[in-house]
Amino acid sequence: MTLFEKHQPVITKAIEVLHSRIFFAAFPENPSPAVYGETADADGQAKFKNQLGKKFEELKQSGATTWGGQEESPYTQEALKISYPLFTVDSLIGNSKKAFHQWRKVSAQDRAGILMESLERTKKRFFEVAYATMHTTGQGYMMAFQASGPHAADRALEAIAAGYEELNRFPGKVIWDKPMGKFNIQLNKEWRAVPKGISVVIGCSTFPTWNSVTGIYGSLITGNPVIVKPHPGAILPIAIFVAEIQNVLTENNLDPNTCQLGVDTFDKMITKELAEHPDVKLIDYTGNSAFGSYLEALPGKTVFTEKTGVNSVILDSVEDVDKAAANLAFSVNLYSGQMCTAPQNLYIPADGINSPAGKISFDDFAQKFAAQITGLVDNPKAGPFVLGAIQNKKTNERIAEAEKLPGKVILKSRTLENPQFKNARTATPVVVEIDSSKKEIYSKELFGPIALLIKTKNTNESIALAQEMAMKHGAISCAAYTTDASVHEKIADEMALAATPVSFNLTGGIYMNQNAAFSDFHVTGGNPAGNASFTNPEYVTKRFTWVGHREPVK
């Protein structure tokens, strides 16, 4: 049985749900022993701890000049002391060029089988990946397991399925027969999906696998070699994925340099040198808008970006104000707001929010929202684990600056002791009331646990401001609460024009921060928050070119 035959049922199902958009998860998100094995968690934790202070020697690529690594745990605030092989840009490019001509000749079926097998191998290491994610990003255990393990693998599968479908959209060969009266013209025609070349995937510090694997697998399935350039602060989680890809490539007599890990350090970063190299044709990037815009402007490159945005919440009317406030409070607390989809600007009419019990005043909602945040934070069984830890020290500085904004501080941020990690770098959300006239304050992303309650004239102004923020500064998510059908439609229509998806009236166990593979398009590519979308057809078709040849039939 070939690897494609082994994994074909899952690939076929994944292609089906890309069209139906219904729920599908190939990799279970529940880290229970029944699913992954009785000792999987303990084994993963032990393997992570065993890696600390040592060289990561799993990679099969060659030509390293030295070793280095600067990862630090946000939970212990101590260096992991893991070192990785460091390569020159010329070495990485040279290896990719050699691997390219072998990999592009591999059939789409065989590529899909190999890539699926790498995901199956990584599945056995999800717990190890989880602990690596915790101690590089500061995510809580459950998020670290789900986002970096099964959810990332599902996004990778989504890219494999989308790429495989597009590569098979047209026939490889056909006899073209054109009647010409007394004779026919017959041509043998063939079409080749030609990959564009070397792909560089630039990782981020907060979601090192979830935000990277889609680009990695999207480029690999379409025949392009990949250089993975992780963030210097979050290497280990994606290094494990790359190692497993290299393992399967080697076992199938293929060049492991088809997918390389290009590690750098804060004092000697190689990102720009890689991106600007003339042999690099594809770039995937997650990070700040300034660097993303620089990448988008590079000539001769096909670039896929996810940048920063200003995410809004429009509050018009609610069925249950306490449930709405609780849902939004959880969204702000989740991973201390260090998500590109986290809410920031909450637009609330000055005369309040309609509800079955009557008007909820601006001040009343503000207090309910603050109380829900405090209640979750102070819950010893939930607060520390939902909040996680702060990945970057600069986020703490941003929180301190937020408390000095020209507005009323409704809730101050404070540190919270994590019962498992006494030295964890933590910060609870800060909530500030801002008048809608102070547009210069809320017209930018304030990354971290920062929520601005913006007092507007009415819901129409709230909608207009949310749309303006998305159009001018980008938005990846939006939430809205309304019981009025006409207002619902207006919000949906206006935010659609701003290329921003809206989550309406969420009150249960689903939050505006979350996106589901095979169903939700992550980033639309239609506003300044990014120019690409996980995973629409364009995300994979732009990685190769259709080329046709023809010849008379003999």
3-state secondary structure 55-95: ECCCCCCCCCCEEECCCECCCCCCECCCEEEECCHHHHHHH
Place of tokens 């009557």: 358
Which range of residues forms the domain containing residue 346?
312-504
Q: Is 526 within a domain?
A: no
Contact present, 186 and 552 (Cβ < 8 Å): yes
Burial class (CB in 10 A: 0-12, 13-18, 19+), 177: exposed
Q: Peptide bond before 535: cis, by omega within 30 degrees of 0?
A: yes
Q: Is 373 within a domain?
A: yes
**Model pLDDT for residues 315-363, shown as the tens digit of each residue:** 999 999 999 999 999 999 999 999 999 999 999 999 999 999 999 999 9
Shared domain for 541 and 490, answered yes or no, is no
Shared domain for 303 and 410, answered yes or no, is no
Phi, psi of 451 (to 5 degrees): -125, 130
Q: Is 191 within a domain?
A: yes
Q: Is 268 within a domain?
A: yes
Between CA 47 and CA 99 the distance in angstroms is: 31
Shared domain for 303 and 331, answered yes or no, is no
Contact present, 2 and 131 (Cβ < 8 Å): no
Q: What average pLDDT score do residues 120-130 get? A: 98
Helices 150-167 and 3-20: crossing angle in degrees, nearest 10, is 90
The residues that bridge with 201 in the sheet, in sequence order, are 228, 284
> What Rg value do the Cα atoms of the chain yield, rounded?
25
pTM of structure: 0.96
Shared domain for 271 and 223, answered yes or no, is yes
pLDDT value of residue 35: 92
Shared domain for 222 and 347, answered yes or no, is no
Shared domain for 269 and 297, answered yes or no, is yes
- What confidence category does residue 62 fall into, taking pLDDT thresholds of 50, 70 and 90? confident
Q: Is 74 within a domain?
A: no
Q: DSSP assignment, residue 233?
A: T
Number of domains in the chain: 2
Shared domain for 152 and 168, answered yes or no, is yes
Shared domain for 325 and 252, answered yes or no, is no
Shared domain for 144 and 235, answered yes or no, is yes
Q: Is residue 455 over pLDDT 90?
A: yes
Which region, left, alpha or beta, applies to residue 146 given φ > 0 means left and ψ of -120 to 50 means alpha? alpha
Q: What average pLDDT score do residues 501-511 get? A: 96
What is the residue-averaged pLDDT of the chain? 97
- What confidence category does residue 74 fall into, taking pLDDT thresholds of 50, 70 and 90? very high
Which CATH number belongs to the domain containing residue 143 in this structure? Answer: 3.40.605.10
Q: Which of 465, 477, 451 is nearest to 529 (CA)?
A: 477
Q: Is 291 within a domain?
A: yes
Shared domain for 251 and 283, answered yes or no, is yes
Q: What average pLDDT score do residues 31-51 get? A: 96
Q: Is 76 within a domain?
A: no
Between CA 393 and CA 81 the distance in angstroms is: 19
Residue 8 burial (CB count, 10 A): 16
Which CATH number belongs to the domain containing residue 341 in this structure? Answer: 3.40.309.10
pLDDT value of residue 374: 98
Between CA 441 and CA 399 the distance in angstroms is: 14
Q: What average pLDDT score do residues 171-190 get? A: 96
Shared domain for 203 and 217, answered yes or no, is yes
Q: DSSP assignment, residue 253?
A: T
Shared domain for 261 and 362, answered yes or no, is no
Residues shown for the chain: 554
- What confidence category does residue 486 fall into, taking pLDDT thresholds of 50, 70 and 90? very high
Q: Is 524 within a domain?
A: no
Residues of the chain with pLDDT > 90, as a percent, come to 99
Contact present, 203 and 212 (Cβ < 8 Å): yes
